[in-house]
Structure 1
Amino acid sequence: MPKNIKLTYFDFKGFGEPVRLALAIAGLDFEDFRIKREDWPAIKPTMPFGHVPVLEVDGQKVAQSGAMLRYIGKLVPESGLYPSDIWTAFKVDEIIGVVDDIMRLLRPSFATKDEDEIVRLRTALVAPEGELTLALAQLEASLAKTAGAKFALNDGPTIADISIYVILDLLSSGVLTAMPKDVYAKHPQLSKVVNAVRAHPKVKEWESKH
């Protein structure tokens, strides 16, 4: 087991929050280092591939949040965060890929400071035939195949549940211009996952402190 774990990311949720929650659920002690915006230019050259989040394990730095999530799950197998069953792990990876696709849909609206353009882009995403609307419906349909489970795939949380929770929490938070708070409300399986993760004792403890 590693002696020292340090997560480096900015002081907001984004791509760092799933890793924070996975570490918390797994019961791993870690340093939650949050970069100030003004300090980023000096820190950027020290990060692998020049971006964050970065997980430093006993002095070795590794990038890519998906890789971090799988590492944490494998490091603490009893947590169930990354299933030992090959098929279930395959489905976990599929869901994480879908969440990454959803994040990519949002990137153009994050890349502009033009408020009118932000509204235009996000309104198009959540239109009846918008790409985000369709992506959420497709994810809902996929989760419906395991509707009897307490979480997305089984009765315990996986890194897939954490990924779903963080992105849907962001989308419905009200902080994103032109993004309706009820963006996923009509999807019972997505709502189930969000509620189950939010109610998890270690998630509740983490969020109460941060």
Structure 2
Amino acid sequence: MPSYKLIYFPITALAEPIRFLFSYAGIEFEDERFDRNDWPKLKPTMPFGKVPVLEVDGKKIDQSTAICRYLAKQCGLAGKNDWESLEIDSTVDTIHDVRASIASFHYESNETAKNEKLKATKETVPYYLERLDAQVKKNGGYFVGGSLTWADLVFVGLLDYLNFIMKEDIIEKYENLKQLQKTVEEVPAIKNWIEKRPPAIFSPN
């Protein structure tokens, strides 16, 4: 069994779906959360100057979606056939579109631009969530194939970060997505992880 170390800021965000997958699969991993002040000196040591980074037997790899897909294949959450795998990939990309829309205003420092972006986000996000909610309804409570896949873990893993940025529960109006969150958080291995994980230290900006 390879040795795994996940390197990230002391928050949930992009690393949390990876942590969910490790927990679900019962794979031991080192959860290294560095202090934000150390980031400038750590950054040059990362393959493309970004995190999360997964170290597998000392070899570093980045890109959270690729890491999730790799782990999902190992624990049977990557789809029952090529079509399902494609549907999962497509759903995950859509979820990251939602995240990108939310992040674009959050990290904008120019006030005028920030307000413009926030306005766009408030239109874009419900548009996506409505469709994702319908997708879950159609697929028996999950995004794809009527059973748990890594798309479900990505969505629920990112939620508390997205809610923190939006300062609201973004899925409050979406019954199927709310039920999906509950389903994922009740998976014993994930429930166990959520109960014992360190608190996320989000930055105030």
TM over 0.5: yes
How does 1:1-150 map onto structure 2 within 5 Å? Answer: 1-2=1-2, 4-76=3-75, 80-113=76-109, 118=114, 121-126=117-122, 130-146=123-139, 148-149=140-141
Letter in 1 for 2:135: S
User: Secondary structure of the residue that 1:138 maps to in structure 2?
Assistant: helix
8 Å CA contact 2:20, 2:157 repeated in 1: no
**Residue 176 of structure 1: which of 165, 179, 200 is its match?**
165
**Identity, % of aligned pairs?**
34
Matched, 1:166 2:162: no
What CA distance in whole angstroms lies between the structure 2 residues aligned with 1:84 and 1:136? Answer: 25
Letter in 2 for 1:145: K
After superposition, what is the alpha-carbon deviation per residue over 1:149-176, rounded to whole angstroms, capped at 9, x for unaligned?
4x3334543210011112333333xx33
Letter in 2 for 1:176: I
- Count of residue pairs brought into register by the alignment: 197
8 Å CA contact 2:12, 2:158 repeated in 1: no
What CA distance in whole angstroms lies between the structure 2 residues aligned with 1:139 and 1:168? Answer: 14
**Residue 157 of structure 1: which of 131, 134, 148 is its match?**
148
8 Å CA contact 1:22, 1:72 repeated in 2: yes
Q: Structure 2: any 5+ residue segments left out of the alignment? A: 198-205
After superposition, what is the alpha-carbon deviation per residue over 1:46-71, rounded to whole angstroms, capped at 9, x for unaligned?
10111000111111111101110111
What CA distance in whole angstroms lies between the structure 1 residues aligned with 2:133 and 2:194? Answer: 26
8 Å CA contact 2:6, 2:54 repeated in 1: yes
How far did 1:144 drift?
2.7
Structure with the greater relative contact order (CA < 8 A, sep ≥ 6): 1 or 2?
Answer: 2
Q: Structure 1: any 5+ residue segments left out of the alignment? A: none
- Give RMSD over aligned pairs: 2.0
8 Å CA contact 1:11, 1:36 repeated in 2: yes
Tell me the equivalent position of 2:188.
Answer: 201
8 Å CA contact 2:105, 2:117 repeated in 1: yes
How far did 1:72 drift?
0.7
Tell me the equivalent position of 2:202.
Answer: none
How far did 1:40 drift?
0.7
TM, length-normalised to structure 2: 0.86
What CA distance in whole angstroms lies between the structure 2 residues aligned with 1:84 and 1:154? Answer: 8
Tell me the equivalent position of 1:190.
Answer: 177
Letter in 1 for 2:185: R
How far did 1:18 drift?
0.7
User: Secondary structure of the residue that 2:14 maps to in structure 1?
Assistant: coil
Letter in 2 for 1:91: E
What CA distance in whole angstroms lies between the structure 1 residues aligned with 2:186 and 2:84? Answer: 23
